[in-house]
């Protein structure tokens, strides 16, 4: 049969499929059997065996169709069924795991001719329990062997940081201001209201309230994930994702604390801001999800909703929540320069990135969907880039507040520095998210390399380093011109 006839038959059969409730007008004689197997790979195959008979004096073109949400789509041409002839066909279906333990898919073999369309429907049961069990077993082994090592390493690292903080003798404005006792019972008598808020913010009591609330919320979310995805493998995924998401923010936190060491800002400020960042991430997640849901209720297309949320809504919500923590601490007298604000803001940002990445690695992506190796690669990529990005965004907020506060001409406006600070942070965040969307578009067009997102982060890192150098220079000049209050106190 010529090419023109094939095109005509395909057009006729497609028209029947669109207009008819049944994808054909007459039944097709034959037997179809489907291979019964448990699928064990992310991309696996199922074989279809078909024996078809033609009782008519005309030629039929055999095509395989797939039904999705009530719409039938042509998958491939199978062959020709000659007049009064028979056809033995072996069809290999290439299947990809889509998050379901079991799925029933509907197919049809269509015999199309200019005179009629015949067909025979059949079902394929996709049983992915074998694949999930394999991945779950591997992840369980990894979590039992690797997670304890990571936890021990983190505890040792934290112990070293705490010992270093004790060795630094972080005295503060007055002798004995920052001691083990004042950590739990800060000196608030006679201090301004904003100082009292900041002192409360950096106490273990406040951290505990945040962490307990966060743990309860995480537990509720974990139960919902378990109900949605099934028990298989969710706990190991959750633990490994948490460990992977925590390592890079912890590294950034230690680097920032060490960078601020020459001014001897107490460790409690950095812990308080890191924990606030974690706490604010969960509420940002709830708000973003709520807005996406409301947009869908107003029948805004999903693609537009996700894009608007990523570029406009999410940056505004996230930077406002992170910036509030920096604002609470800015009332303290230790928040005395652009340099300190830059590093305090960065700390809140990387704390936020820990929780955000944790839930992303668990819910938005998983080793079942990506495969274990690509999933680990995604964790490494996102932990490095997104943690650094979130730190830099909020660093802009903290730096601007510190700049206003440390300059006499602008100090009266320090309380309002959060507004332009958040505006700059939102702009940087939006540009970063737009670069991620551009990368996704490139990847969807079969160019599997991230370009725009790393490039935007490189520019962001250069800006951060420049701001770091400038603010440190300004802080050094201020300390050279005016004696530190602690030095005056000791002389008196």
Q: Is the pLDDT of residue 491 over 70?
A: no
Measured CA to CA in angstroms, residue 113 lies from 23, 87, 256, 311 at distances of 14, 16, 72, 51
Rounded to the nearest integer, the mean pLDDT of the chain is: 83
Q: Is the pLDDT of residue 451 over 70?
A: yes
Tens digits of residue pLDDT in 147-174:
899 889 999 998 998 888 887 766 666 6
* Higher pLDDT pick, 39 / 179: 39
Range name among 135-149, 163-177, 464-478 with the lowest pLDDT average: 163-177
Confidence of residue 19 (pLDDT cuts 50, 70, 90): very low
Confidence of residue 440 (pLDDT cuts 50, 70, 90): confident
For the chain, what is the total number of helices (H) and then of strands (E)? 15, 8
Evaluate whether 246 touches 382 at the Cβ level (below 8 Å). Answer: no
Q: Ranked by mean pLDDT, which of 17-26, 63-72, 421-430 comes out on top?
A: 421-430
* Higher pLDDT pick, 461 / 228: 461
Confidence of residue 490 (pLDDT cuts 50, 70, 90): very low
* Higher pLDDT pick, 430 / 101: 430
Share of the chain above pLDDT 70, in %: 84
**Which pLDDT score, from 0 to 100, does residue 183 have?**
79
Q: Is the pLDDT of residue 278 over 80?
A: yes
* 3-state SS string for 342-367: HHHHHHHHHHHHHHHHHHHHHHHCCH
What is this structure's pTM? 0.81
Q: Is the pLDDT of residue 57 over 70?
A: yes
Give me the residue label for tokens 């960065």.
Answer: 346
Confidence of residue 269 (pLDDT cuts 50, 70, 90): very high
Tens digits of residue pLDDT in 215-260:
887 887 777 667 666 655 678 888 888 888 999 999 999 999 988 7
Rounded (5°) CA angle 368-374-377: 130
Q: Is the pLDDT of residue 18 over 50?
A: no
Q: What is the four-CA torsion angle of 68, 73, 78, 80, rounded to 10 degrees?
A: 130
Range name among 96-105, 264-273, 296-305, 356-365 with the lowest pLDDT average: 296-305
Q: Is the pLDDT of residue 307 over 70?
A: yes
Evaluate whether 155 touches 139 at the Cβ level (below 8 Å). Answer: no
C-alpha to C-alpha distance for 214 and 351, rounded to whole angstroms: 13
Averaged pLDDT, 32-59? 92
**CATH 2.60.40.10 boundaries in the chain:** 3-127
Averaged pLDDT, 443-458? 72
140: Cβ contacts below 8 Å, ≥ 6 apart: 233, 236
Confidence of residue 356 (pLDDT cuts 50, 70, 90): very high
Confidence of residue 412 (pLDDT cuts 50, 70, 90): confident
70: Cβ contacts below 8 Å, ≥ 6 apart: none
Measured in degrees and rounded to the nearest 5, phi and psi for residue 20 equal -95, 145
**Which pLDDT score, from 0 to 100, does residue 482 have?**
59
Q: Is the pLDDT of residue 196 over 60?
A: yes
Q: Is the pLDDT of residue 481 over 80?
A: no
**Which pLDDT score, from 0 to 100, does residue 166 have?**
80
Measured in degrees and rounded to the nearest 5, phi and psi for residue 341 equal -60, -40
Q: Is the pLDDT of residue 52 over 90?
A: yes
Measured in degrees and rounded to the nearest 5, phi and psi for residue 254 equal -65, -40
Q: Is the pLDDT of residue 213 over 70?
A: yes
> How does 146-181 read in b/e, with b if 16+ C-beta sit within 10 Å?
eeeebeeeeeeeeeebeeebeeeebbbeeeebbeee
* Higher pLDDT pick, 479 / 246: 246
Q: How far apart are the first and last CA of the chain?
A: 105
Averaged pLDDT, 272-291? 87
Among 386, 284, 285, 266, smallest CA distance to 329 is for: 266
Q: Is the pLDDT of residue 175 over 70?
A: no
Share of the chain above pLDDT 90, in %: 36
Q: Is the pLDDT of residue 289 over 50?
A: yes
Q: Ranked by mean pLDDT, which of 70-79, 244-253, 469-478 comes out on top?
A: 244-253
* 3-127: CATH, from 2.40.50.140, 2.60.40.10, 3.20.20.370, 3.40.50.720: 2.60.40.10
* Higher pLDDT pick, 235 / 204: 204
Q: Ranked by mean pLDDT, which of 1-10, 99-108, 283-292, 365-374 comes out on top?
A: 99-108
C-alpha to C-alpha distance for 36 and 313, rounded to whole angstroms: 47
């Amino acid at each position: 049969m010529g090419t023109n006839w094939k095109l005509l038959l395909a057009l006729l059969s497609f028209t029947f499929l669109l207009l008819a409730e049944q994808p054909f007008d007459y039944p097709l004689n034959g037997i179809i059997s489907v291979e019964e197997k448990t699928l064990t790979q992310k991309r696996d195959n199922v074989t279809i065996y078909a024996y078809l008979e033609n009782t008519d004096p005309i030629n039929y073109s055999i095509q395989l169709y797939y039904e999705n949400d009530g719409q039938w789509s042509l998958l491939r041409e199978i062959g020709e069924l000659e007049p009064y002839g028979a056809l033995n066909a072996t069809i290999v279906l290439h299947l990809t795991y889509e998050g379901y333990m079991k799925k029933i898919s509907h197919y049809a073999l269509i015999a199309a001719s200019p005179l009629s369309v015949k067909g025979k429907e059949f079902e394929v049961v996709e049983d992915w329990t074998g694949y999930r069990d394999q991945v779950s077993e591997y992840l369980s082994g990894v979590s039992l062997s690797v997670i304890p090592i990571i936890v021990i390493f983190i505890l040792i690292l934290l112990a070293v940081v705490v010992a270093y903080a004790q060795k630094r003798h972080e005295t503060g404005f007055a002798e004995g201001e920052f001691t083990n006792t004042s950590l739990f019972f800060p000196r608030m008598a006679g201090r301004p209201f904003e100082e009292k808020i900041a002192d409360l913010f950096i106490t273990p009591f406040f951290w505990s309230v945040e962490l307990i609330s966060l743990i309860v919320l995480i537990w509720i979310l974990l139960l919902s994930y378990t109900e949605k995805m099934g028990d298989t493998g969710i706990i190991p995924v959750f633990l490994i994702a948490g460990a992977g998401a925590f390592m890079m923010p912890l590294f950034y936190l230690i680097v920032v604390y060490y960078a601020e060491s020459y001014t001897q800002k107490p460790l409690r400020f950095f812990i308080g801001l890191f924990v606030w960042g974690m706490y604010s991430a969960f509420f940002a997640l709830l708000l973003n999800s709520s807005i996406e849901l409301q947009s869908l209720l107003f029948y805004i297309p999903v693609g537009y909703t996700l894009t608007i949320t990523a570029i406009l809504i999410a940056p505004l919500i996230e930077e406002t929540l992170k910036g509030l923590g920096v604002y609470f601490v800015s009332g303290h007298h230790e928040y005395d320069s652009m340099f300190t604000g830059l590093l305090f803001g960065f700390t809140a940002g990387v704390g936020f990135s820990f929780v955000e990445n944790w839930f992303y690695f668990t819910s938005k992506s998983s080793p079942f969907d990506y495969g274990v190796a690509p999933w680990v690669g995604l964790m490494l990529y996102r932990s490095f880039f997104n943690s650094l990005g979130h730190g830099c965004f909020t660093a802009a907020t903290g730096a601007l507040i510190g700049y206003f506060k440390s300059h006499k001409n602008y100090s009266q406006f320090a309380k309002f520095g959060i507004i332009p600070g958040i505006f700059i942070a939102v702009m940087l965040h939006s540009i970063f998210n737009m670069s991620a969307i551009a990368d996704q578009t490139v990847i969807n067009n079969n160019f599997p390399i991230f370009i725009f997102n790393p490039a935007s982060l490189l520019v962001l890192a250069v800006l951060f380093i420049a701001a770091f150098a400038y603010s440190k220079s300004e802080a050094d000049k201020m300390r050279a011109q005016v004696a530190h209050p602690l030095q005056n106190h000791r002389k008196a």
